[in-house]
Structure 1
Amino acid sequence: MILKKCQQATEVIVLAVVISFYSCVNKKNNSSEYQREKAKPINEKSFCSSFFPKEGDLVFCEGWMENNSEKAVVISQKRTFNTKDELFIEVYEKMNTIEPYLSIHEVLRDCPVDFSINFIKDSFSITDLDEDGIKEISFIYELACQGGIGPIKMKSILIEGENKNVISGYRFDDVSIRMNQKPNYPKSKIDNGFKNSDSKIFIDFSVKKWKVHHGTQLINFE
């Protein structure tokens, strides 16, 4: 009788061990499957995270969807000590990432005092103001060459497709901005490409952005 009970107990223990083993195996397999599925999006690098500029250091990169196509704007900067500062702005369609379909190259050189080109990240925006399905990207950057207080050169760019629209001029110095003063600095202007734009809403939007970032008065805008 005792022997029979021992045999039954042994069978129960063996069965429990087998069930536990298969449970662990299945759990491990399920876990691996889950990890594999979860890892897919992590391993897929976005355009911006895997982009290396041809010139200078990466300053900014932003992508967006447009008519079922992925696009991206890349801004990089190359500074040569005491010689020049360069800003590279390139717009890519991710189906063809070898060359940008639009590029801007800004150079600041031959400045005897402190100088730099400064991309203003807070000015960047992606919009569809005229609701035609083609996104506009817009941003502002400064071209500073000064040894003291004075106006700073500034440009506002709005790009739609391959069209580039520009406001160029000056921004008030930091002291004047803090003191809420408006010195008699040179006026700024809306370039011809902007004025020939099909949509006045582009100009209104960019002028508002220009004022927010302390651009001086525009001579050709009412």
Structure 2
Amino acid sequence: MRKLLLPFCLLILIFIISCNPKEQNQTNEIETKDIDKKDSIIAVEVDSAQIPKSILYHGNLKKAIQWKDEVGENLVILSESGYHRNEKFKHEFDDSADFELFAYHFSLDKNNLQIWKMYDFVADCPVDIEAEFYSQFPIITDLDKNGIAEVWIMYKVGCHGDVSPVNLKLIMYEGNKKYAMRGENQVKVGANEYIGGEYKLDKSFDSAPNIFKDYAIQLWKKNVYKN
């Protein structure tokens, strides 16, 4: 009887040992999924009716994005003046035009406190103005997984009467910390010939996580050439 009992006990022990790693793996998978879900930031586009009336911004609404992170509820607004003539600028030409771009970040949990404002413009342009936010921006990320969103904005500004590059800028904020990448867009001037596309990273990227720089270069390469 003892001879039969010993192999049976060994079989039970082997079965228990073989089951435990599987159960542990399942637990780890569940925990990993929960962490990924916690670290992800979901941003949604809102329309003008969903923007609190106490929030003031210049220009015409281009896009508004809202999200929640470790800081709280956030709202970023992109707006443009369109072609107009702003008398605050000095005008050399009677038929010239101006174009202004605005971006704002508000904290909705802190009485709609303005965290930062970005402003750029083309002034006194007597020929063609190229000024616009790229439509897929702002992009909201959390690349360093610290629970605080990074806000990416890309736009071009220029005044020219020919086929030539204009200023292209990629701006990123994490909180009120600004990172910038500046250069020119790329244009096609022949069958297989392009000009422009160069860029320079601000020194702020030197002390930033490498993933910020890598993602900035990725965004630049993806958007530097637009027909």
1: CA distance, partners of 2:101 / 2:215: 24
Is the 1:60–1:76 Cα contact (8 Å) retained in structure 2?
yes
Q: SS in structure 2 opposite 1:95?
A: helix
Identity %: 25
Equivalent positions of 1:171-210 (< 5 A) are 171-173=185-187, 175-176=188-189, 179=191, 181-183=193-195, 185=196, 187-197=198-208, 199-210=209-220
Is the 1:108–1:117 Cα contact (8 Å) retained in structure 2?
yes
2: CA distance, partners of 1:155 / 1:167: 6
Larger Rg: 1
Per the alignment, residue 84 of structure 1 pairs with 98
Following superposition, the deviation at residue 83 of structure 1 comes to 3.0
Equivalent positions of 1:57-76 (< 5 A) are 57-67=60-70, 69-76=72-79
Is the 1:48–1:63 Cα contact (8 Å) retained in structure 2?
no
Structure 1: stretches of 5+ with no match in the other structure: 1-44, 216-222
Following superposition, the deviation at residue 110 of structure 1 comes to 2.5
| Runs of 4+ more than 6 Å apart | 45-48
2: CA distance, partners of 1:193 / 1:171: 22
Cα 1:63–1:179 change in 2 (3 A) is farther
Root-mean-square deviation (Å): 2.5
**TM score, norm. by length of structure 2:** 0.66
Cα 1:89–1:212 change in 2 (3 A) is same
Structure 2: stretches of 5+ with no match in the other structure: 1-45, 86-95
2: CA distance, partners of 1:159 / 1:54: 19
Is the 1:123–1:138 Cα contact (8 Å) retained in structure 2?
yes
Following superposition, the deviation at residue 51 of structure 1 comes to 4.5
Cα 1:186–1:140 change in 2 (3 A) is closer
Q: SS in structure 1 opposite 2:224?
A: coil
1: CA distance, partners of 2:174 / 2:71: 16
Is the 1:159–1:165 Cα contact (8 Å) retained in structure 2?
yes
Following superposition, the deviation at residue 54 of structure 1 comes to 3.0
Q: How many pairs are equivalent?
A: 167
The question of 1:124 aligning with 2:124 is answered: no
2: CA distance, partners of 1:164 / 1:204: 16
Cα 1:48–1:161 change in 2 (3 A) is farther
Is the 2:48–2:61 Cα contact (8 Å) retained in structure 1?
no
Matching residue's letter, 1:50: I
